[in-house]
Amino acid sequence: MNEGIAPFLSPLTLIIGGGLVVIGVLSLFDMHFLKSKTQEKAALIVGLVFILATEAMFVTSGASGRYFEGQKLDVTDCEFQAERDFPMERRNNPQLIEHKIKACMDNLGYDWTETHEHCQEAKLSTNVFCYIPRSPMQREIVAFQMRFE
């Protein structure tokens, strides 16, 4: 989720979700705020969905976890290291720089993949869309985030 949207939406989803959960839980103690028990059960379920949506916003935002934003930083750091260590090779031997960036990303726990359409457009070692984390959870989150780029 975009860092500009998450801080705006998360308080709203927490307030709405929390209120619905409270209504649902209070109905278990015979304190009824809605017309039927079905509505109160639905309020509990919808409230939990809102809270889970808020959690998903935090998990996929760059502020709470590195994920795709961190991957962009890792590519930039690897490029900087390769350029710093081999300053003359960018012009004389660009393949060495490409190899060093890919090796650095491999050491950081990323696999090279050419499946994303943006990677197909430019199969460069500095293209962040050409990498995917090895960790299964991070892989799923980054793949999800890359769908919206």
With beta carbons less than 8 A apart as the criterion, state whether 133 and 48 touch: no
Give the pLDDT score at 6: 66
For range 11-33, the mean pLDDT = 89
Lowest mean pLDDT among 7-11, 17-21, 41-45, 138-142: 7-11
Global model pTM greater than 0.75: no
Cβ pair 139, 109 in contact under 8 A = no
Residue with tokens 């808020």: 54
What are residue 112's phi and psi, to 5 degrees? -80, 130
pLDDT tier for residue 111 given thresholds of 50, 70 and 90? very high
- Alpha-carbon distance of 149 to 138, in angstroms, equals 17
User: Which tokens sit at 44?
Assistant: 């509990």
Among 32-36, 44-48, 76-80, the minimum mean pLDDT is found in 32-36
The answer to whether residue 92 scores a pLDDT higher than 80 is yes
